[in-house]
Amino acid sequence: MTELASQLAAGVKALGLESVVTADMQAQCLAYMALMQKWNKVYNLTAIRDPQEMLALHVLDSLSVLPYIQSGSLLDVGSGGGLPGLIVSITRPDVQVTTIDTVQKKAIFMRQVKAELGVNNAQVIHGRVEAYQPPSPFDQVISRAFSEIALFRRLTMHLIKPHGRWLAMKGVVPEHELQLAQVIPAEIIPLQVPTLQAERHLIVLENS
């Protein structure tokens, strides 16, 4: 087992996800990382170059929200290179994931990952979220470093089902953003990302 593989296995165990994220899924996550490193040389998908940092900041960070994602449909807004959307689709076959990004090279990369890794429960959209008109709205809409909460809600209001949930991945609790958005979260969930020495929180809002 390579060092990265053992670090990922340890991270999955620390997150309490060993019954969810199988060895095959972990191998898929590492294959995704390898593709990101390869494409990064040409396309500059992420500023993070170090594989261990990539594992913590991208893969384990994305895995940390798995327990709070319900089965059904999920839209990942401003997905970039597919975070957390493609990691969710690899590890949660019960979730139909759509990723959307305005940057064409990022959408091309995500489509390549989907094809090479055979991720059948993901679809990739290149476009602006405010202009996106899917056949039906989503159960959940997630974002990681997309925008502040008020804008995130405003741009995706037409994309979420009644009683659907917004999931905003944040660092410290964004008190100022919540005040500006004039919303009271359904939940504020502290996330413990293995090997990451930084505060992480998941802000859950309900479309009531």
Q: Classify strands 138-144 and 72-77 as parallel, antiparallel or unpaired.
A: parallel
DSSP category for residue 20: T
Residue 129 is assigned to a ligand binding site: yes
- Give bridge partners of residue 77 from the DSSP assignment: 100, 143
Residue 164 is assigned to a ligand binding site: no
DSSP assignment of 77-116 equals ET-TTTTTHHHHHHH-TTEEEEEEES-HHHHHHHHHHHHH
Q: Classify strands 138-144 and 160-170 as parallel, antiparallel or unpaired.
A: parallel
Residue 154 is assigned to a ligand binding site: no
∠ at Cα 189 (171, 182), nearest 5°? 75
Contacts of 107 by beta carbon, 8 Å cutoff, 6+ apart: 101, 124, 125, 126
Q: Which residues are annotated as a binding site for S-adenosyl-L-methionine?
A: 78, 83, 129-130, 144
Q: Which residues are annotated as a binding site?
A: 78, 83, 129-130, 144
